[in-house]
């Protein structure tokens, strides 16, 4: 068994990387310009000597271990260490404008670090950038911020659920973000339902986001589509306008119906159909445009041949059916209800 004096004499007992950082701040002016996290960018830890020395080569970034807010003082100490520079003693960490506070928490308040949700939001940002694990503590403001970060297309965050190249609308992104948060919370024996005011993911969106056919049908630039719709709608002739209103009332009231629009060539049938498609897509609803031939399908945006879209067999008999697997993406697309 080791002698207690030998243990106490070990350099690791008297000095840790953290205390050595404070010692370095006492003697080194450059060190005083850095937070603890920034320190390894300019200084390097000499393990055998238990001291920090100015960095001569290489690059390094620092990070303090994540601390749950449930750990109280350790959490507030971590916040301070991410902010304050050149600390020389534990007392100094708790000192703000010459006044020494009894806790790290009070020092955080004195520095105004807890006046809003910024610290929580920064912690979420940090988590997303580094590990993609989300922070357990959450409420509505933070959720909004979290969504904002996730919604940033430049962010490195990508969902496990869907292919990265798919573009999702805002509601789908919100639901996916909530779904990911819910997964993390479930792993920690919690749930979004335990947090007042937190929304819950829309299950329909989550499954839709994983369906390439659905996301493709919703992948229209709404602002561009609106401009296009306004232009066409204002240009409709009286006759086109009447047909437009008839069809759209059937759509809006969910009545369904079959409309047969006929007319001589170049009388504006395609124009009318484009206007109808645009207004429905502007509302983020799905329009499946189909045409009987490949050439005709080129006339409408997002149009496919009827055979290809509904998998209609070429050889038709009395018993022919569309070969759509009920569990397929196509079946989900056809069953997708407007939200
Ligand atoms: N209300 C309108 N205002 C302005 N342009 C229109 C309008 N209606 C149709 N057009 C234009 O007239 C031309 C012919 O229209 P469109 O292609 O829609 O006719 P169509 O009935 O579908 O023709 P076809 O039966 O030959 O395919 C197009 O260039 C279209 O942009």
pLDDT tens readout for residues 278-311: 999 999 899 999 998 888 888 998 898 899 899 9
Residue 57 has pLDDT above 60, yes or no: yes
Residue 18 makes CB contacts below 8 A (sequence gap 6+) with 36
Q: How far is CA 105 from CA 90, 120, 273, 314, in A?
A: 14, 14, 63, 73
- Going by C-beta distance under 8 Å and a sequence separation of 6 or more, which residues neighbour residue 133? 127, 184
How confident is the model at residue 135, as a pLDDT? 42
Q: What is the ipTM of this complex?
A: 0.98
- Is the C-beta atom of 227 inside 6 A of ligand 1? no
**pLDDT digits over 233-271, tens only?**
999 999 999 999 999 999 999 998 999 999 999 999 999
Q: Residues 75-125: pLDDT tens digits?
A: 888 888 888 888 888 888 889 888 999 888 888 888 887 766 566 656 655
The C-alpha atoms of residue 236 and residue 141 are separated, in whole angstroms, by: 45
Q: Ligand 1 pocket: which of 240, 262, 271, 274 to mutate (most atoms <8 Å of CB)?
A: 271
CA-proximal residue: ligand 1, atom 8 (nearest): 268
**pTM score, whole prediction:** 0.53
State in Å: Cα 273 to ligand 1 middle: 10
Ligand 1 binding pocket includes 235 (Cβ within 6 Å): yes
Mean pLDDT, range 122-146, rounded to an integer: 51
- Mean pLDDT of the 310-334 span: 89
Average pLDDT over residues 60-74: 71
Mention every residue, 6+ apart, whose C-beta is less than 8 A from residue 247.
Answer: 257, 259, 276
- Using DSSP's 3-state secondary structure scheme, residue 261 falls into coil
Q: How far is the CA of 207 from the centre of ligand 1 (A)?
A: 38
Which residue's CA is the nearest one to ligand 1's atom 7?
268
* Chain segment 173-209, per-residue pLDDT in tens: 777 777 777 777 776 677 778 777 778 887 777 767 6
pLDDT-based confidence at 138, cuts 50/70/90?
A: very low
Higher local confidence (pLDDT), 133 or 182: 182
Binding site membership of 300 for ligand 1 (Cβ less than 6 Å) = no
> Please, are residues 167 and 222 in contact by the beta-carbon 8 Å criterion?
no
- pLDDT tens, residue by residue, 201-230: 877 777 676 788 888 888 888 889 999 999
Q: Is the CB of 240 under 6 A from ligand 1?
A: yes
19 lines ligand 1 (CB under 6 A): no
């Amino acid at each position: 068994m080791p002698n207690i004096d030998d243990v106490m004499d070990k350099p690791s007992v008297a000095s840790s990387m953290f205390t050595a950082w404070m010692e370095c701040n006492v003697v080194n002016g450059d060190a005083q310009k850095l937070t603890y996290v920034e320190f390894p960018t300019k200084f390097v830890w000499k393990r055998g000597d238990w001291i920090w020395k100015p960095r001569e080569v290489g690059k390094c970034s620092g990070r303090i271990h994540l601390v749950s807010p449930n750990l109280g003082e350790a959490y507030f100490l971590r916040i301070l260490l991410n902010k304050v520079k050149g600390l020389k003693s534990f007392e100094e960490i708790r000192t703000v404008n010459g006044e020494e506070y009894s806790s790290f928490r009070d020092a955080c308040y004195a520095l105004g670090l807890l006046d809003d949700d910024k610290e929580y939001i920064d912690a979420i940002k940090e988590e997303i950038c580094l590990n993609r694990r989300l922070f357990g503590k959450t409420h509505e403001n933070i959720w909004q911020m979290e969504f904002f970060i996730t919604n940033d297309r430049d962010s490195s965050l990508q969902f496990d659920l869907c292919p990265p190249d798919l573009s999702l609308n805002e509601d789908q992104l919100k639901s996916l973000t909530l779904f990911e948060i819910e997964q993390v919370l479930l792993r920690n024996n919690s749930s979004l339902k335990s947090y007042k005011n937190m929304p819950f993911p829309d299950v329909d969106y989550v499954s839709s986001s994983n369906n390439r056919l659905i996301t493709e049908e919703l992948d229209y630039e709404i602002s561009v589509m609106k401009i296009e719709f306004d232009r066409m709608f204002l240009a409709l002739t009286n006759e086109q306008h009447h047909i437009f209103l008839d069809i759209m009332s059937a759509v809006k009231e969910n009545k369904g119906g079959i409309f047969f629009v006929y007319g001589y060539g170049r009388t504006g049938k395609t124009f009318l159909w484009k206007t109808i498609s645009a207004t429905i897509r502007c509302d983020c609803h799905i329009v499946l445009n189909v045409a009987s031939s490949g050439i005709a399908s080129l006339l409408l945006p997002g149009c496919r041949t009827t055979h290809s879209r509904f998998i209609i067999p070429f050889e038709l008999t009395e018993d022919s059916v569309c070969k759509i697997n009920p569990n397929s993406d196509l079946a989900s697309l056809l069953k997708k209800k407007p939200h």
